[in-house]
A and B are shown apart, each in its own frame.
Chain A
Amino acid sequence: MKLSTLSYLLLPIVVLTVLITVSAGAQSKKVEIPAGYFHSVLPEVVGEPVRVESFFIDETAVTYEDYRNFLTDQPRWRSSDIPAIYAGKSYLKNWKNDLDYGDKKATQPVTSVSWYAANAYCGWKGGRLPTLNEWEYAAQAMEFESSDDADRFSSELIGWYSAVNANQVKPVGSSGIENKYGVKDMFGLIMEWVEDFKPPVADDLSLDCGTVGRMQGSSTLYGYAMSIRYITRMSFKPISATGMLGFRCAYDTVQNGNEPVNENQSTD
């Protein structure tokens, strides 16, 4: 009983075809996530699974080196040039100067990036930030041997949310956590920006003592971990930039009715 509920919750219903495209000149791969359904913890559609159309998403989060390349090409997003309305004081706060992030960070996920800057980066890459539902749908596409395994994973995830050390972020691809399509580190390294991080229902939820109870459609460990993530995200402002907040990009598919992915095209 518990296992079937969990697999319904955790595993999208679709059969998958994984398409991996390698973007020109960069190490990061894009992974296609096929259309399907998942369960949101937002109370707007209680019990109803949310449909997500197919899309591409980066295999790993954007790294310091990736971001430095962006800044090299796009000076107006450098710390010394960025207008205050697009980023607070903490934007790239640990960088030595505009284009120098210091030692040993090249493959670490870039953090202390505002939502505006993350958006601009993804636009520059010919993509966009994933929507909240896309991100959650992809993140939750994990397979577990048993409900015990799923619970154990969720328990570790909650532990991570309460004990993460923002001073010691590890390189991308190192979390050992991967969804069934091969997307890595959606948990265990950093938290990530999404396009609509503060959905309209956020104001109604108003983040108080009762919110977790209202968000927990299913009282699983996984649901609890999810609600912590949703709540944390909802509290951000577009100029927020913290040491554990980074991002990865998403891209439309042709099936979506959109143009195919266009590499490294500037949005200017």
Chain B
Amino acid sequence: MKSLYQISALLMTLIVLLGVGQSTVQAQEYMMDGMTFGMPEAVVYTEDYDGPPVVGDHLTLLPNLAPLEYEGNKHHEVRLDAMVQEIEVANGVSYRAWTFGGTVPGPTLHVREGDRITFTMKNRSDEEVTITEPGSEASPFMQQVADNNYMNAKPGVMPMPHSMDFHAGTVAKDDKWRTIAPGETIQFDWVANYAGTYIYHCGTPSVLMHTAMGQHGVVVVSPKEGYPTDYEVDREYVVVQSEYYLKKGPSELYQYDFEAAQSRNPSHVVFNGHQTILHDQPLEANAGERVRIHFSNNGPSGTSSFHVIGAIFDRVWLEGHPYNEMRGMQTVLLGASGSATVDFIVPEEGKYILIDHEFADAEKGATGTLKAGPRKR
């Protein structure tokens, strides 16, 4: 009897040791082809945090991209809280959006290939969060929203589970991308192993609903060695295409149209989250300049045939990776969650229209203006 007890105690010890061993293995980092894999386990906890919902020096409001003022690699601390904002997406069309950071798309994160990111997100969908009052801790994104609240964002409350899926990260999704309840916070690390422009989005089902409701944005990972034309680039912008599926609700607000979303019949297809924003606030350049656009089609379901009327893409890096270089393209075809970094030379003073050349999309809003001044050099 006693020996049986001893054996079972030994077995228990073994099981415990094995269990501990497993979690240690999972947390062990390793290198392969110069890239870093094996991130520590994500942590889910509750915190009293009620500070700025967007924290980090390299997060900006579209179409801006934060400059990488540092040499080599950096460890970024980034916070991007999930919350509800009532936003305007077209003239007279507002709805209560599910957001990362308060706008649709969410803030653009800019890092360099090889950078490490410690990411924190609190699910604040059950509290009112004001995004137009940046504190000292807040990211440049919040000051930019305060200066230019083009979506007229106002806080709302709609408690729902949410999660974060960074396409720029390479991790086990059932750990890092896991869903958290309202009031919970998740924190995890990832390394930007591959250069390019990558969507991030909420991965909580229904993913169609969560992304169509507004939970997406992009991370721009600049290549370590840069792109071959970097020294000639005069302007750099980020443009994100996405669809809304909205119908008039019982009040003056619009709401999610499930049937339209399922049948891929968007009410609006937009650049940078608003039907007319890139005409109301055109991108700027001068004749003779080289303009670079990091363009992402965040979907959730449509394709984009991105074209600039009056220009030809001098260089195209598919997905933004410097090895995927093409030249002389009129249109770049992108599926949902596809991206490209494009360079073009602005030929003369005037207006250039950015457009999804799938004209059904263009006429639902997927156009914008680049306004070119006279040649200056």
Contact = CB atoms under 8 A, between A and B. Distances in A.
Interface string A127-170: 00000000000000000000000000001001100111111000
A159 B258 contact: yes
Given A165-B157, A245-B159, A207 B179 contact: yes
Contacts of A166: 126, 157-159
Nearest to A224: B258
A155 B257 CA distance: 8
A228 interface: yes
Nearest to A213: B205
Contacts of B255: 159, 162-163
B209 A162 contact: yes
Interface string B148-181: 0000000011111101000000000110011111
B171 to A, nearest CB: 13
Nearest to A158: B258
The CB with the most chain B CB atoms within 10 A, among A207, A227, A237, is that of: A207
Contact of A232 (B126, B160, B183): B160
Nearest to B253: A163
A221 interface: yes
A90 B122 CA distance: 14
A243 B163 CA distance: 19
Given A166-B126, A227-B205, A235-B181, A242 B258 contact: no
A89 B206 CA distance: 28
Given A164-B158, A227-B205, A232-B160, A208 B173 contact: yes
Given A88-B183, A162-B209, A163-B249, A207 B161 contact: yes
A235 B62 CA distance: 31
A228 B161 contact: no
Given A158-B258, A227-B205, A227-B206, A165 B158 contact: yes
Given A165-B156, A245-B159, A159 B249 contact: yes
Interface string B81-110: 000000000000001100000000000000
Contact of B183 (A163, A207, A209, A240): A240
Interface residues of B, number: 40
A117 interface: no
Q: Per DSSP, are chain A's interface residues mostly helix, strand or loop, or mixed?
A: loop
A208 B161 contact: no
B156 A208 contact: no
Contacts, number: 109
B184 A163 contact: no
A259 B163 CA distance: 44
B46 interface: yes
B300 to A, nearest CB: 10
Interface in B207-256: 207-209, 213, 247, 249, 253, 255-256
B137 interface: no
Contact of B203 (A167, A208, A221): A208
A184 to B, nearest CB: 19
B157 A243 contact: yes
Contacts of A231: 161, 204-206
A57 interface: no
Contacts of A221: 258-259
A212 B261 CA distance: 14
Contacts of A158: 209, 256, 258
Contacts of B125: 242
A241 interface: yes
Interface in A64-102: 88-90
A206 interface: yes
A187 interface: no
A90 B181 contact: no
10 contacts: A90-B182, A159-B247, A207-B178, A207-B203, A208-B177, A209-B205, A210-B205, A215-B205, A231-B204, A242-B159
The 6 closest A-B pairs by CB, nearest first: A235-B161, A242-B159, A162-B256, A163-B255, A211-B205, A158-B258
Interface of B: 46, 48, 95-96, 125-126, 156-161, 163, 173-174, 177-184, 203-209, 213, 247, 249, 253, 255-259, 262
Given A163-B95, A243-B126, 9 more contacts: A162-B213, A162-B255, A163-B255, A166-B126, A224-B262, A228-B206, A232-B160, A232-B161, A240-B183
